[in-house]
Amino acid sequence: MINEQDLRKLLGDLESDQVERTISTGNTDKFCEVICAFANDMPANNCPGYLVIGARDEDGAVAGVTVTDELLQRLASYADSGQIVPLPSITVQKMSLAEGDLAVVEVRPSDMPPLRYRGRVWIRRGTRRAIANEQEERVLMEKRTHHARSFDLRPCRGCGWDDLVLDLFQLTYRNAAVAPELIKENNRDLLLQMASLGFWCPREACATNAGAVLFAEDPLVWFPGAAIQYVRYEGDALDTEPLDERRFAGDLITVLRELDGFLKTLFPSQPEPVSPLKEKNRTPYPMLALRELLMNAVMHRDYESNAPIRFYWFSGHIEVQNAGGLYGAVTRETFPNQNDYRNPKIAEAMKTLGYVNTFGRGIVRVQRLLFENRNPPAEFGINEPALFLATIRKAAP
C-alpha cells in the first residue's frame, strides 16, 4: 500500500511510467487497459504501477472527485471479474489528502505475462499505454517462461505439435481469446500464437501442460487422471446397483462441451404452483449449481494425480470429488472467501471459453441456487489434504 508521501511524488512526476492519473470515475475500458499495462510491466520496473482516480493528468493536481464505496468496490472487482486474463493482482484504497480524496489502484507486476484485456495486450510506452507489437509480446512471453511457477504453465515434455489438434486452438480458442482485427493482422505461425497465449513453450519445443490438457489429441497420455467419471447409483451407497455410467475424456474443450450438454438432460423440471395463476419450475437438484461444482472441480483439480474427477449420483445426494485439496492462500479458515488458483492458465481458458462467468464467486452462487430450489446447503469435505469433496442433497418435497 502506498503512503501519502510517495503518492505525492508520483502525482508530481509527470514523466513517470508508473502512474496514470485521471478524473474519470466511470471509464471501465480505460481502467482495465491501465491495469493490464501495469501488470505486464513492459519497462521491467519490477515494482507496482498506480492508477490514481481524482487527479488531473496534465499537472497531477487533486480535482475534488467524490470517492464512493461503490467506486472502490467496482475497481476492486477488476481483479477477478475475468475481463483481464490472466488475473491481475491489485489493491484498492482511498487516500484522503488535504486537497481532496483519491482512489488509488496499486497494480503489481504479473509473473504470467502477457495479460490481455478484451483480447489485446496492453503495455506502457513511456507515460502512455499502448497495444503491444509482436516483438513486445515475445519479450513478455520470455518473462513468463522465466517466472512460471504454476503447473499448467510448465512444459509438457514429449507433447509436440503433432500431438495437438491445432484446429481446436485456431478455430475455437483463438477466436474467443484474441480480438478479430488482431487475428487478421497476425503474421506469426500458429505455434508462436499459442506461445503468446501460454500453451506452447518455444524453448522446449513442446506444449505447456495447459496446452496439452486443452488441445492434445489424447491428454490421458500425459495426465492419466484427466477425465470425469460419472455413475448413477440405485441407492445411497457405493455398494448399490449402478443404473448408469459414462466417462468424459479427451481434450478439455470437448470434455466441457459434452459435459455441458449432458447436464442439461439430467433434471427435467416439474411445475409447482406458487399461486392460483402462477407456477414455478423446480428440480431435485438445480442444474446450474451442479454445473458450477463440476467446473470448479475441473478448474482446481490436481492434474498430476491419476484419479479422475468423481461425479456420483446417489438416491438422495450427489457427490463431486476431485484430486487436490485446498490450495495456496485458501485454508479451512478462509474457505470459501479466499481465492487462489492451482491452475491459473486453465482457469483463464475456461473463462475465455465461457464456462466460467466470474472468478471467486462459484461457491456463493452454488449456495444461493440451492437455497432458491429448497435444497440444503452444499457440504464440503475440506479435511483431506489431497482431495476436495462437494456434496449436495436432494430438495425437500
pLDDT per residue, tens digit, the chain (397 aa), is 789 999 999 898 888 889 999 999 999 999 999 999 999 999 988 899 999 999 999 999 999 999 999 999 999 999 888 889 888 999 999 999 999 999 999 999 998 889 999 889 999 998 899 999 888 988 888 777 656 678 898 999 999 999 999 999 999 999 898 888 877 777 778 898 999 899 999 888 999 999 999 999 999 999 999 999 999 999 999 999 999 999 999 999 999 999 999 999 998 666 555 555 555 667 999 999 999 999 999 999 999 999 999 999 999 999 999 999 887 778 777 788 777 788 989 999 999 999 987 666 788 999 999 999 999 999 998 766 689 999 999 998 7
Positive/negative CA dihedral, 298, 322, 204, 109: positive
Backbone angles phi, psi at 150, to 5 degrees: -80, 155
Question: Residue 208 — φ and ψ, nearest 5°?
Answer: -75, 170
Question: What are residue 245's DSSP bridge partners?
Answer: 231
* Distance separating alpha carbons of residues 394 and 71, to the nearest angstrom: 40
Q: Note the pLDDT of residue 66.
A: 94
The pLDDT value recorded for residue 273 is 56
Query: In DSSP terms, which residues pair with 116 in a beta bridge?
Result: 85
DSSP-assigned letter for residue 315: S
Q: Return the CA Rg of the chain.
A: 23
Query: DSSP secondary-structure letter at 271?
Result: E
pLDDT given for residue 146 in this prediction: 58
pLDDT value for 286:
94
Per-residue model confidence (pLDDT) at position 386: 85
Helix (H) or strand (E) holding 5: helix 4-12
Kindly list the structural domains of the chain, giving each domain's residue range(s) and its CATH number in brackets, ordered by start: 4-130 (3.30.950.30), 148-218 (no CATH), 227-393 (3.30.565.60)
Q: In what order do the strands lie in the sheet with 100-108?
A: 19-22, 49-53, 100-108, 89-97
Cell numbers given for 91: 489493491
Task: Name residue 130's beta-bridge partners.
Answer: 123
φ and ψ of 270, to 5 deg: -120, 130
Count Cβ atoms below 10 Å from residue 39 Cβ, excluding itself: 27
Non-local (6+) Cβ contacts of 115 within 8 A are 36, 39, 40, 84, 85, 86, 88, 121, 122
Q: Is 41 left (phi over 0), alpha (psi -120 to 50) or beta?
A: left
Write out the three cell numbers for 51: 492508477
pLDDT value for 274: 53
C-alpha cell of 396?
A: 425437500
Cis peptide before 224 (omega within 30 of 0): no
Kindly give the interhelix angle for 344-352 and 287-300, rounded to the nearest 10 degrees.
140
What pTM was estimated for this model as a whole?
Answer: 0.73
Predicted local distance difference test score (pLDDT) of residue 358: 67
Separation of alpha carbons 308 and 339, rounded Å: 23
Grid cell listed for 203: 524453448
pLDDT of residue 196: 87
The pLDDT value recorded for residue 67 is 95
C-alpha 231/C-alpha 244 separation (Å) is 6
How far is Cα 158 from Cα 292, in angstroms, rounded to an integer? 33
Q: Cα dist. 394→103, 234, 316 in Å?
A: 46, 14, 6
The pLDDT assigned to 111 comes to: 82
